[in-house]
Chain A
């Protein structure tokens, strides 16, 4: 799960990480009041989940409360387009108004999971304020890494190693160590999957601040963090994906015209792939889960067909232990109750396959029965391109 910058900063601040003074506003008037309170130069930052906000015009300076109001007025409600939002952009509903700080240098700090080592890894770099992926690709030696022992977490000596590795002025090392230890505490306490401070700011006055902050959380651990669950902002997510999640369906919208309904994530990805190989383009990823009951199939149809780009649907269910006749009945019941207007191709596999196919054929619905993934993909792509014509 992702959260906004201002929420991440509240969490960090509660764990002792220094962040610039600031508050969030949802109106330009409120932004002016905050700027007035802060005094002096302020930064007005659009709050959307996507990165790259500065380049898209979502981060601007203001020299007075009045200017802060003007700037906030132009940012609030705008469709902010960044390299992470897609071409349609994301509506800005809140801005963070922060004190402006004088930059001496920018660094990078990050905490992530190293899958291969099975450990949490703490990263630091002198190359702050730029895309860290680019630093990793071009000058990997400029990213310092410390693997953390489970149970111990970040130890003070590791933090010192990183701090001195950054070539910070020696007198700043204690503050940097404290900063890093606090950041790690926030990461662990919240079951985060990623925490990034980019940039970590060294001001002209010689203080360290988290100028920007990003925290992602482990969805599997949200059950034990009620406060974090409540930070979820569904406005930042695709409404269809939110609706799907409420039905226990795993759905991701794509831009093709062949809807997919599959059980299992791996098979769902493979189904998208084979549609592409057959010359079509998948409209979505959808994992109905192991059950594939009539109700789940109905819910899945509802989600897939509310995407108006969908011209045909492929149902690919590998029954496994579940019997095909039961899956087939589920599909037929769901299809009958919904007045489907797009052609449907069904591919079933598993026990009682013949009975399952019989049920589909006898249903008097215009379902196309396929055998095997290749056949299914070819049939659905043909139907999708025909109905477009």
Chain B
């Protein structure tokens, strides 16, 4: 089993004719994702890499039965693309685009209230249910079907963790990159709730980083609601305060968001914390076979 995306997912790619859009659409198809259409305003009616292109999400979904979208458009127009996808009624919107203004994302969050779509990202690697469906830019080959759910704020660090799992024979139900921006569609707690209700997920790996309080909220949620074991890791134990470490969200400010505090609370709430990034796989293996 898995969450949010699987073999029944029918993907529409927004920005399919762009360089990134084209490359990653082909990668997703190669992995087995059912890409049913693409959207590039003004190019409707054409066919790109064998995929029909439409002028709008609304039209694309009506004609192809699309129920998910992946967004590969430039940051200045990405917030609008998210709202267009939500308006079309798809279940899942995965926004890969990096660099969307924060106030734009706040308006998007407001627009989404009460609507059924779930947004993943922005500024994220996407989501993959190994063996079933990949929506995003992650390397499919490092994944392996299984029962561990992975939630992470970063890209390559998630690949690192997944590789450690797969190389120990530990497969994944679904891996979600929630994104490194301050305002995101799906947070740790949302993802934990989905994994909690997924009978195909036995354990969860949660990869956080410095900045904000999302990891703290996640730890408290785990303590209060989860009986499945959770492994935690926090990147940025050596990061100095006041400096933004790449991700807009990764900054220690006003004494808040330190790795030390996050790790302490995670341990207090019963998570198994891997102190070293090299121990994420090993720690997971240990909790799966006590």
**Chain A residues with Cβ under 8 A from B240's Cβ?**
252, 254
1/0 contact string of B118-158 vs chain A (CB within 8 Å): 00000000000000000001110110000000001111111
Q: Which partner residue on chain A sits nearest B158 by CB separation?
A: A266
1/0 contact string of A3-27 vs chain B (CB within 8 Å): 0000000000000000000000000
Among A164-172, A215-223, A325-333, A379-387, the stretch in contact with B:
A215-223
1/0 contact string of B248-288 vs chain A (CB within 8 Å): 11100011000100000000000000011110000000000
**Chain A residues with Cβ under 8 A from B102's Cβ?**
113, 191, 193, 218, 220-221
Any chain B CB within 8 A of the CB of A318?
Answer: yes
1/0 contact string of A65-98 vs chain B (CB within 8 Å): 0000000000000000000100000000000000
CB <8 Å contact, B276 and A115 = no
Any chain A CB within 8 A of the CB of B44?
Answer: no
1/0 contact string of A248-281 vs chain B (CB within 8 Å): 0010101000000011111111111111110000
* Chain B residues numbered 153-208 whose CB sits less than 8 Å from any CB in chain A: 153-160, 163, 180, 182-183, 187, 207
CB <8 Å contact, A287 and B235 = no
Any chain A CB within 8 A of the CB of B214?
Answer: yes
- A266 and B152 in contact, given A273-B238, A374-B278 (Cβ under 8 angstroms): yes
Among A39-47, A100-108, A116-124, A204-212, the stretch in contact with B:
A116-124
Any chain A CB within 8 A of the CB of B110?
Answer: yes
Any chain A CB within 8 A of the CB of B237?
Answer: yes
Q: Which partner residue on chain B sits nearest A223 by CB separation?
A: B76
Any chain B CB within 8 A of the CB of A354?
Answer: no
Which of A113, A220, A267 sits near B156, CB closer than 8 Å?
A267
**Chain B residues with Cβ under 8 A from A350's Cβ?**
139, 142
Any chain B CB within 8 A of the CB of A389?
Answer: no
> Chain A nearest CB: distance from B234 CB in Å?
9
CB <8 Å contact, B75 and A250 = no
CB <8 Å contact, B141 and A274 = no
Any chain A CB within 8 A of the CB of B47?
Answer: no
1/0 contact string of B60-75 vs chain A (CB within 8 Å): 0000000000000001
Tally of A interface residues using CB under 8 Å:
56
CB <8 Å contact, B246 and A265 = yes
**Chain A residues with Cβ under 8 A from B275's Cβ?**
277
Any chain B CB within 8 A of the CB of A141?
Answer: no
CB <8 Å contact, A320 and B254 = no
How far does the alpha carbon of A275 sit from the alpha carbon of B235 in the complex, in Å? Answer: 12
Which of A119, A254, A267 sits near B160, CB closer than 8 Å?
A267
**Chain B residues with Cβ under 8 A from A271's Cβ?**
277
CB <8 Å contact, A116 and B213 = yes
- A266 and B139 in contact, given A119-B106, A220-B248, A221-B102 (Cβ under 8 angstroms): no
How far does the alpha carbon of A247 sit from the alpha carbon of B157 in the complex, in Å? Answer: 23
Any chain A CB within 8 A of the CB of B99?
Answer: yes
Any chain A CB within 8 A of the CB of B103?
Answer: yes
Q: Which partner residue on chain A sits nearest B137 by CB separation?
A: A321
Q: Which partner residue on chain B sits nearest A192 by CB separation?
A: B103
CB <8 Å contact, B183 and A266 = no
- A191 and B155 in contact, given A118-B109, A349-B160 (Cβ under 8 angstroms): no
CB <8 Å contact, A116 and B139 = no
* Chain A residues numbered 210-240 whose CB sits less than 8 Å from any CB in chain B: 218-221, 223-224
Which of B141, B157, B187, B207 sits near A351, CB closer than 8 Å?
B141
How far does the alpha carbon of A151 sit from the alpha carbon of B107 in the complex, in Å? Answer: 7
Q: Which partner residue on chain B sits nearest A268 by CB separation?
A: B246
Which of B101, B141, B159, B276 sits near A218, CB closer than 8 Å?
B101
CB <8 Å contact, A115 and B182 = yes
How far does the alpha carbon of A271 sit from the alpha carbon of B235 in the complex, in Å? Answer: 9
Which of B105, B207, B248, B259 sits near A219, CB closer than 8 Å?
B248
> Chain B nearest CB: distance from A49 CB in Å?
11
Q: Which partner residue on chain A sits nearest B157 by CB separation?
A: A266
Any chain B CB within 8 A of the CB of A37?
Answer: no
CB <8 Å contact, A115 and B152 = no
Any chain A CB within 8 A of the CB of B100?
Answer: yes
CB <8 Å contact, A265 and B75 = no
A-B contact pairs, 7 of them (CB 8 A): A254-B240, A263-B156, A273-B277, A349-B159, A349-B160, A372-B278, A374-B278
Known: A264-B157, A319-B139. 7 other contacts (CB 8 A): A113-B183, A150-B103, A218-B101, A265-B154, A269-B239, A269-B250, A272-B236
Residues of A that sit less than 8 Å from B by CB:
84, 113, 115-116, 118-120, 132-133, 136-137, 149-151, 188, 191, 193, 218-221, 223-224, 250, 252, 254, 262-277, 282, 285, 287, 318-321, 349-351, 372-374, 377
